[in-house]
A and B are shown apart, each in its own frame.
Chain A
Amino acid sequence: MKERIFGTECEYAPVYQSKKNHHRFRPLHGEALLDYIKGLSSRLFSSLALSGYPMAGEFMGNGGRLYVDRGGHPEYATPECRCVKDLVAYEKAGDRIMQELAAQTNGQTAASEGARTLHVFKNNVDFYGNTYGGHENYLITPRAAKGIRNIIPFLVTRQIFAGAGRILTRQEAGTPSFQISQRAEFIDQTFSDRATRVRGIINTRKREIYGQEQNRRLHLIVGDSNMSEFAIGLKIGTTALVLRLLDEGKLDGICGLASPVQTLKDISRHWNSEFQMTGRSGWYTALDVQAIYLEEVRRFFSSRAPTSDEADALGLWENILQGLSELQISGRNWQLEDDPGELRRKVDWIRKLWILNRYGNMDDPAVNDRRLKLMDLKYHDLNPATGLFARCEALGLVDRMVDDGAIATAQIRPPDNTRAHIRGTIIRGAADKSIDVEIEDWTKINIRAQVRQKGLGQGANPFNRYKGTANCLSIRMDDPFKTMDSSIAEQIERFVGTRE
């Protein structure tokens, strides 16, 4: 599969931060906590009515989806993308949208909530050890699905450039320590069809998708949510490269891990830890395994031309692995000693470690580990006035893969090379007209010639919509590669009166 569809889903953490010397929130438990988090998400989404973003139910004018997940988190799914830079722009667009909603919510509730402000965090674990995900979806061939085991060593080891980093306090680990991945500790099995409690490196939950004889959906929940644009691009781009070889049957027997889940955790705890592989002698590091996959990809493309997207990802992968081979970190106290490749500008866990190092040594008995934990969490705060990554970006201390213009465009317009274009165009076109658009799911749109419900204001459920039935035009978009064509455009024009 030379051209691939991919997308990400991100569960964000909404948190009220009380101002100093004011009453603090007392942690809730069980159903009360779930109701509370759902309430925060609803409050956040109530600002959608004022935001001006064209919506049709949970779907957005950019082709993506905004909703509250079962754990109460506000969640954003990117539209279907075909190139890595697009995916980066659309994922960052989700971050910007969440932050805009938080700012609007705080503006609306300033009088009643003056002692606290709502913050949205893009991370994967709270202070209490509850985890929430950053998921990836890839369209793959049945051949790749059959040989999916061959990608496991790659997925276990890619955290050395895709990890978001995490500090553990004395209470959690006996002594303050660092892990390069947020999610590794919460993965239980190599394969699992569940997304909670028993999580797998490969999620095997089946989803019916178009053309089962040709296509499969690979759903990954093992990855971290990334702040760094380069980390997002590396994670998606390198995974797509490896999947290309898997599609072509070029990874059969490449290598295997004796204990994938334990190795995942070991690498997270000690980034250059050594482990054994099946069918090979000796001891290996995560960098060695990545080098094995990179070599296979290089060999594959020695006899065929990569797409420009693949060439970009390959070049970036080579540079990052070279940089990691030169990276020096003290194993004793996680002190970043040398980073000649300046990976701290691209890799989240290295940038976070660099920030933590500025505060103090983790093996110093006097170090305030709660303060380190606070810095860890604040790295992921989307508010540019209080987020540490956001401030690093504003100061030019991190590299960008896309510019602000591309992200601003991705907030409102769909990609033009997948079915998201049809979805987004219809939603945008109907936004200011008396036409109700219902998006049943990622593959089906109903357009109704009915007056849409009016009067949605602050506090209303923005996902409410008129459910009338008359003059309904249904459009199926089974093929994710299909974009707007003249036939669809003509049908839509009769109902929506727009063409893009």
Chain B
Amino acid sequence: MAETQKFKQPKIKKPKKEDDVSIAPGGFSSDKKKKLKELDEFIEGVLQEAGEEFLDEFKQVEGQ
């Protein structure tokens, strides 16, 4: 291990989905739930609108 380790090693925790932990003790507020729902809907709309074929259109030249 490192000779200089200034930060505590994290405790091993039971794996959990990030959404279930640490955002707000006791669960999400209704505002947070609303925002996450809005984000999910937004992402779905963006993906639908672009379509996977957009990947093929995303071609650039190497930068300088």
* A residues with CB within 8 A of B: 11, 13, 15-20, 24-25, 27-28, 33-34, 37, 69-73, 121, 126-128, 130-133, 195-197, 280-285, 287-288, 291-292, 294-295, 321-322, 324-328, 330, 335-340, 342, 344, 354-355, 357-359, 368, 370-371, 373-375, 377-378, 386, 388, 391-392, 395-397
Contacts of A130 in B (CB 8 A): 59-62
Q: Known contacts A16-B57, A284-B2: does B13 contact A328 (CB below 8 Å)?
A: yes
25 A-B pairs with CB atoms under 8 Å apart are A11-B64, A17-B57, A20-B48, A24-B57, A69-B63, A71-B60, A71-B61, A71-B63, A71-B64, A127-B55, A127-B59, A132-B62, A133-B64, A282-B3, A321-B6, A325-B10, A337-B17, A338-B10, A338-B16, A340-B22, A342-B22, A374-B50, A375-B47, A377-B58, A397-B39
Closest B residue to A298 by CB, please name it.
B6
Contacts of B9 in A (CB 8 A): 325
A19-B49, A327-B10, A378-B47 are known; give 12 further A-B pairs, CB within 8 A. Answer: A24-B57, A132-B61, A132-B62, A132-B63, A325-B9, A337-B15, A357-B18, A374-B52, A377-B55, A388-B42, A391-B43, A395-B35
Contact partner of B62 (CB less than 8 A), chosen from A131, A292, A322, A342, is: A131
Distance between B54 CB and nearest chain A CB, rounded to angstroms: 6
Closest A residue to B55 by CB, please name it.
A127
Chain A at the B interface: mostly helix, strand, loop or mixed?
mixed
Q: Known contacts A386-B46, A396-B35: does B5 contact A291 (CB below 8 Å)?
A: yes
Contacts of A386 in B (CB 8 A): 46, 49-50
Interface size, B (range): 35 or more
Closest B residue to A355 by CB, please name it.
B43
Cα–Cα, bound, A152→B46 (Å): 39
Contact assessment for A126 and B46 in the assembled complex, using a CB-CB cutoff below 8 Å: no
Contact assessment for B13 and A338 in the assembled complex, using a CB-CB cutoff below 8 Å: yes
Contact partner of B54 (CB less than 8 A), chosen from A330, A358, A374, is: A374
Total inter-chain residue pairs, C-beta < 8 Å: 180
Distance between A385 CB and nearest chain B CB, rounded to angstroms: 9
* B residues with CB within 8 A of A: 1-10, 13, 15-19, 21-23, 35, 38-40, 42-43, 46-64
Contact assessment for A335 and B61 in the assembled complex, using a CB-CB cutoff below 8 Å: no
Contacts of A338 in B (CB 8 A): 10, 13, 16, 18, 21-22
Contacts of A344 in B (CB 8 A): 18
Q: Known contacts A13-B60, A27-B56: does B15 contact A330 (CB below 8 Å)?
A: yes
Cα–Cα, bound, A396→B36 (Å): 11
Contacts of B7 in A (CB 8 A): 287, 291, 321-322, 324-325
Cα–Cα, bound, A361→B25 (Å): 25
Distance between B25 CB and nearest chain A CB, rounded to angstroms: 11
Contacts of A292 in B (CB 8 A): 2, 4
Distance between B19 CB and nearest chain A CB, rounded to angstroms: 8
Contact assessment for B13 and A337 in the assembled complex, using a CB-CB cutoff below 8 Å: yes
Closest A residue to B51 by CB, please name it.
A20
Cα–Cα, bound, A197→B21 (Å): 43
Closest A residue to B1 by CB, please name it.
A282
Contact assessment for A126 and B58 in the assembled complex, using a CB-CB cutoff below 8 Å: yes
